[in-house]
Chain A
């Protein structure tokens, strides 16, 4: 594979990420408009537990760093290191998902599901869409791990890892804004 295609793949992926950014913008706008419409149900301030969300944020931040280091290790052709760091990222991604699902399950159990108010509908859509991205990213990571084990560090797997790294960093950036606009702003 020549240098040209190696450069074009991440660029095409970057264009996809920016269009995903627009998708999240629409969901953020919906949430911002509907956040006050609680229809007699609980508001964000009554529902959210800030220390729990801080733990989620830190898990995602650490996973963003570990996948960046995996990319760096791939650049230095250290296959074993790449696999260990990707496994760590995968574990952190799963931990994040588990925390998010348990948060959602708790809300639904208490009767505050997405059908209760416009605020909760938009909350579940926004945070759930981010969670779905994390879920798909984790699946992608698993597939890439098998690729790495069987094919090794080829230009093909490196380019896939590059895209996954961009994707994961992007999801961390989206989470910063969810943490700020959804969780922190609800408690102000």
Chain B
């Protein structure tokens, strides 16, 4: 961008709203990510889980979701543009921190808890591994 023009209110608003190109690019990229993730899972089902190792497939699908998140943040929400962008990014970073703590923490604690309580029940003779049908 030209620096002399960049600081006028009009130019600032223009960059904050994005352009038609940014929407088209963001849209096509999102469609591509969604289609690819869907195709991989469908293909995995058809070939009975033989296209990729399980962990690899989960990783690829996670990467596709995060790529789409980044694309939408940049091309739809225009993060990093506009006059309040520093504050917007700060609030977003804080929200991401809370999300990671809440989701990661819950999974971590609950998996430990299930593990311990099931083990205690085995030891106490309340249930045996064979009664755990599922």
Is B19 a contact partner of A54 (Cβ separation < 8 A)? no
Main secondary structure of the interface of A (DSSP, over half): helix
Is B103 a contact partner of A25 (Cβ separation < 8 A)? yes
Determine the interface band of chain A, counting residues with CB < 8 A from chain B: 35 or more
Is A75 a contact partner of B95 (Cβ separation < 8 A)? no
Give B58-78 interface residues, CB cut-off 8 Å to A: 58, 61-62, 64-65, 68-69, 72-73, 76-77
Q: Which of A14, A38, A61 contacts B88 (CB 8 A)?
A: A14
A136 touches B (CB below 8 Å): no
Is B41 a contact partner of A18 (Cβ separation < 8 A)? no
Main secondary structure of the interface of B (DSSP, over half): helix
Q: Which residues of A contact B54 (CB under 8 A)?
A: 188
- Residues A50 and B38 in contact in the complex (CB < 8 Å), given A7-B84, A25-B102, A169-B72: yes
Q: Which residues of B contact A21 (CB under 8 A)?
A: 95, 99
Is B34 a contact partner of A58 (Cβ separation < 8 A)? yes
Q: Which residues of B contact A170 (CB under 8 A)?
A: 77
Name B's A-contacting residues (CB within 8 A).
9, 13-14, 17-20, 23-24, 26-27, 30-31, 34, 37-38, 41-42, 44-45, 54, 57-58, 61-62, 64-65, 68-69, 72-73, 76-77, 82-84, 87-88, 91-92, 94-95, 98-99, 102-103, 105-107, 110, 134
